[in-house]
Amino acid sequence: MRSSEKTDGKGYDMKKQLLEDIDHVSERLEHIRQSYDMTAEPELVDALIYEEKAMRSRFDYLIRVAKENNIKCRIALRK
């Protein structure tokens, strides 16, 4: 196996993992948004707010890494 093939394989694995992570974070954000509608306890709402902020930060990081590596995806977040 040539070294370029090894690099391509690692690049593919990184791309696949990155896209899976982006998908997971976007699904988690959607779940958090749905949870707002089912929660009335102030402490739980606070926890959801912090969790949403953390997931948005993670999403922003993953998107930045994807852009730096010219990886394109079609996931958009609702604001």
pLDDT 10s digits, 22-53: 999 999 999 999 999 999 999 999 999 999 99
DSSP readout, 43-55?
A: HHHHHHHHHHHHH
Compute how many other C-beta atoms are within 10 angstroms of the C-beta atom of residue 59.
19
Residue 79 confidence (pLDDT): 59
pLDDT 10s digits, 3-17: 343 446 777 888 999
Domain ranges of the chain: 3-68
Q: Which residue has the higher pLDDT, 66 or 77?
A: 66
How far apart (Å, rounded) are the C-alpha atoms in residues 35 and 73? Answer: 26
